[in-house]
Amino acid sequence: MFKGSLVALITPMTKDGKLDERAFQDFVAWQVAEGTQGLIPVGTTGESPTLSHEEHQRVVELCVEAASGKVPVIAGAGSNSTAEAVALTHHAKEAGADAALIVTPYYNKPTQEGMYLHFKTIADSVDLPIVIYNIPPRSVIDMSVETMARLAKHPNIIGVKDATANLARPLHTRAACGSDFCQLSGEDHTALAFLAAGGAGCISVTANIAPRLCREMHDAWADGRVKDAMAIQDRLVPVHDAMFCETSPGPVKYAASLLGKGSDFCRLPMAPIADASRERVRAAMAGAGLLN
């Protein structure tokens, strides 16, 4: 259903911390024009933990409007409260999103059965395709392949954003969930290797600032031009490194600001990135040809 280069969108804000709606919609339009194949608003990269419910919903609405049906929108709708995740997923459907991205419940540390019941409750409540977001470094918990296979039997649960960086995982997931289960990498460094292991694409942070290059890399792979894809990968590795030299989305929002795509403001507790990190981001972008 979803494939290729997808972007975990930043949420541009003004210097006083308000949503910059015009900058966000201009950014979405630029992503579409540059070839991005899927848009993911209000994920972690979009600072969902510090958005109010009203702001969260507004960003989804703005994204759907700006995308104009040209590419799919997978709205972030996760929470460590099942009832809250149900409500956000309902809104995503009402707003016209094509799917919802639901993160494994953070902080609560549910068991595998708890995770199964959490996702099943959401999928039973809202008739919208759901992509599971498994990111142990941020959520503390790791959904097992066995639990994912149980959930894959639900008609509304159609895939996973896998941010484990474990390249054996997509092989086991494919065996357990079937080849139709949509596997998307959630880790830029492993995008090509994930494709080789049966993945369909990548939900990328780097695509915020290098959308065309990311799309070209996926196109090269799909066309069987492996050397071309690897050459782009090599070009982007320093950029991937720089995007995570501090906690995301600090570096990528600063990088986007260098391209004139909104300010580098992040809401507390995210601090402005250090001067050394700014230099690293700038150097990586220049090295990849993203800055003149």
pLDDT digits 0-9 by tens, 80-115: 999 999 999 999 999 999 999 999 999 999 999 999
Candidate list 116, 133, 253, 261, residue with the active-site label: 133
Range of the domain at 199: 4-215
In a domain, 234, yes or no: no
Q: Please report, for the domain that includes residue 101, its CATH number.
A: 3.20.20.70
Candidate list 116, 161, 254, 261, residue with the active-site label: 161
In a domain, 292, yes or no: no
Count structural domains, the chain.
Answer: 1
On whether the pTM is more than 0.75, the answer is: yes
The percentage of residues in the chain with a pLDDT greater than 90, rounded to a whole number, is 99
Residue 120 has pLDDT above 90, yes or no: yes
Residue 1 has pLDDT above 90, yes or no: no
In a domain, 274, yes or no: no
- Whether 254 is catalytic: no
Look at residue 292 in the predicted model and tell me its pLDDT.
Answer: 78
Q: What number is the average pLDDT over the span 174-178?
A: 98
In a domain, 232, yes or no: no
In a domain, 240, yes or no: no
- Whether 133 is catalytic: yes
- What H or E segment, with its residue span, contains residue 286? helix 275-287
Structure confidence at residue 246 as a pLDDT band (50, 70, 90): very high
Q: What number is the average pLDDT over the span 212-241?
A: 98
In a domain, 270, yes or no: no
Checking 177-183 for CB contacts under 8 A at 24+ apart, the result is 177/145, 177/148, 177/149, 177/152, 178/152, 181/152, 182/1, 182/2, 182/3, 182/131, 182/158, 183/159
Interval 60-72: pLDDT, tens: 999 999 999 999 9
In a domain, 225, yes or no: no
Residue 265 has pLDDT above 90, yes or no: yes
What CA–CA distance (Å, rounded) separates 223 from 84? 42
What crossing angle do the helices spanning 211-222 and 21-34 adopt, rounded to 10°?
A: 30
In a domain, 277, yes or no: no
Interval 135-162: pLDDT, tens: 999 999 999 999 999 999 999 999 999 9
